[in-house]
Structure 1
Amino acid sequence: MRAAEAAALYRLMTWLSPSFPVGAFSYSSGIEWAVEAGDIADAASLQAWLTSMLTDGGGFCDGVFLAHAQRAASAGDEPALAGIAELASVFTASRERHLETSMQGRAFVEVARAAWNCASLDRLIASCGGAIVYPIAVGIVSAAHTIPLEPVVHAFLHAVVSNWISAGARLVPLGQTECQRLLARLEPAVTATAGRALNASLDNLGSATFRADLAGIRHETQYTRLFRS
C-alpha cells in the first residue's frame, strides 16, 4: 500500500468510526418510537426495519447525496455543490430527522477542520452557503482529502447502519453478539445500496419508507425518550 493510500484509509476509518465525535449515539432515526409501538421487538424485526430504511429510505438517499457532493467538490463545481447541499438539507421527513443530520454534519465539519484541515476545505464549506447535513459533510471533507468515492460511500453506509443497530440494541434490547450477527446479515444490503447510490442521478432520489417517516415524526411527541430522534 502506498503512503497516500494508507493515509486515505487511516482518515476514512477515523472519520466514520463510532468514536468520531458527531454525537451519532444520541439519535435513533425514529427507531425508539418503532420499538415502543411494537414494530420492532427482536433482531428479526429490527433487521427488516433497517433493511427498508437502508434500501428504500434515508440510507439510499444519503448515499446519493454524498456521491454527488463529493463529485461536485472534487470538480470544483461550487454552484452544483451548493445546489446539492441545499437539496439534501430539505430532503428530510421530520424536524427531528433534520436536527439529526444537520447537527451531525456540523460536528463532522468542525472536528475535521480542527484536526484534519487542508487548503480547499474552508472554500468547499463556504460554497455550501448554509447548513451542511451529514452526507454532504462527509462528501466535501473526503473530496478535500482526495479520498476515492467508492470506499467513502461504503464506509458511510456501514457507519449509518452500525449506529442504527446500536440504537436498536439499547432499546429492544439485544446482546453484542446478536448485534454483530445482524450487522453481518445486513452486509449484502449495504453493499448493494452503495452500488446503487454510486450510479444514481439526483432524479433517482426517493423514499418509500412511510412507517419509518411516521416514526420520526411521532418521536417528537413521545412521552419517554432516551434519544433525540
Structure 2
Amino acid sequence: MHAAAPLLPLVRLLQLASPALPVGAYTYSQGLEWAVESGAVAREADAAAWIGDLLACSLARFEAPLMAGQLAAWSRGEDAEVLRLNADFLASRETAELRAETVQMGWSLVKLLAELDAFAALPGWRARLQAIDTPCFPTAWSAAAAAWQVPAAQALAAYLWAWAENQVMAAVKAVPLGQSAGQRLLATLGERIPALVESALSLPEARWSNYTPGLAIASSRHETQYTRLFRS
C-alpha cells in the first residue's frame, strides 16, 4: 500500500492527459484543418513541421511557462496570480475560435472536476476553481494538477503531449494520414518535449511569446471555411 501511494499523482496525471477526458478537445484542430484545405499541410512531413513549429514556438514559449506559473500560484494559495495569468491567456487568443475553444474546454473541465470526488473532496479546491470568472483550459488543468500534487515538470510534459496527440489525431483525419504515420509523428514530437519542458520551466515572463502569425491566419480563415470537420 505504501509503495503504491506515490504512484497516485501519476495516475491522476494520466487521467488529465487522456483523450477520454470529456472536454471536447477532439473537436478542435487549431487552424490545422485550414492548413490542410489550403495545401500547406498535404503529407506527413508537412504535418510534422506544422505541429512541431507550434509546439516549440507557441506552446513551449507561452502556454507552458504560463501554466508553470499557475501551478506554482495554485500550490502557494496565490489565487490573485492565477487570475492574472488566466486573464493574460484569454487576452492572448488572437481569434474568436481560439478564444471560444479555451473557454469551452475550461468550462467543461471545471464542471467535471466539481463533480469528481477525487478533486471536489480536497478541502477548498472546488470553491477556489469555481471562483474564477471565465476560466481558460490551462487554468482548470493546472488546478487539477496542483491539487493532485503532480510535479511541475511531469504536468507540463503531459500537457504538451496531450496537445500534440490531439493535433496528430486531427492530422490523421484531415490530411488524411494512416495510423502508423500518426505514431511516427508522436514519436518524433515526443522526443522534443523534455527539452521544451526544461526551457518552459526556466523562461522568465519577460520572454514569454506566442507570436505565431501563421496560426492566427489559419484560425481566422478557418472561421469562414466552407466545409469543416473541426470547430477551430
Taking structure 2 as the reference length, the TM-score comes to 0.93
- Report the Cα distance in structure 2 between the residues aligned to 1:150 and 1:124, rounded to whole angstroms: 23
1:21 paired with 2:22, answer yes
Contact kept in structure 1, 2:68 and 2:156, CA below 8 Å: yes
Deviations 1:196-229 (A, max 9, x none): 1111222222123211211011111111111000
Contact kept in structure 2, 1:105 and 1:135, CA below 8 Å: yes
Deviations 1:160-191 (A, max 9, x none): 00000000110000111110011001123222
Residue of structure 1 in register with 2:213 after alignment: 210
Residue of structure 2 in register with 1:66 after alignment: 67
Residue of structure 2 in register with 1:125 after alignment: 129
Deviations 1:28-55 (A, max 9, x none): 0000000000110011000000111111
Relative to structure 2, which stretch is displaced further, 81-90 or 201-210?
Answer: 201-210
Residue of structure 2 in register with 1:142 after alignment: 145
Contact kept in structure 2, 1:27 and 1:227, CA below 8 Å: yes
Gap regions ≥5 residues in structure 2? none
Residue of structure 1 in register with 2:52 after alignment: 51
Compute the displacement of 1:123 (Å). 3.4
- Report the Cα distance in structure 2 between the residues aligned to 1:204 and 1:152, rounded to whole angstroms: 21
Percent pairwise identity: 32
Compute the displacement of 1:59 (Å). 4.9
- Report the Cα distance in structure 1 between the residues aligned to 2:184 and 2:60, rounded to whole angstroms: 20
Compute the displacement of 1:4 (Å). 3.4
Residue of structure 1 in register with 2:86 after alignment: 85
Compute the displacement of 1:2 (Å). 3.5
1:220 to 185, 210, 223: 223
Contact kept in structure 2, 1:150 and 1:198, CA below 8 Å: yes
Distance 1:3 1:31, change over 3 A: same
Relative to structure 2, which stretch is displaced further, 71-80 or 105-114?
Answer: 105-114
- Report the Cα distance in structure 2 between the residues aligned to 1:3 and 1:113, rounded to whole angstroms: 26
Distance 1:22 1:59, change over 3 A: farther
* CA RMSD between the two structures: 1.5
Distance 1:80 1:200, change over 3 A: same
Contact kept in structure 2, 1:65 and 1:136, CA below 8 Å: no
Deviations 1:3-44 (A, max 9, x none): 432111111101110011110110000000000001100110
- Report the Cα distance in structure 1 between the residues aligned to 2:212 and 2:87, rounded to whole angstroms: 22
Relative to structure 2, which stretch is displaced further, 77-86 or 28-37?
Answer: 77-86
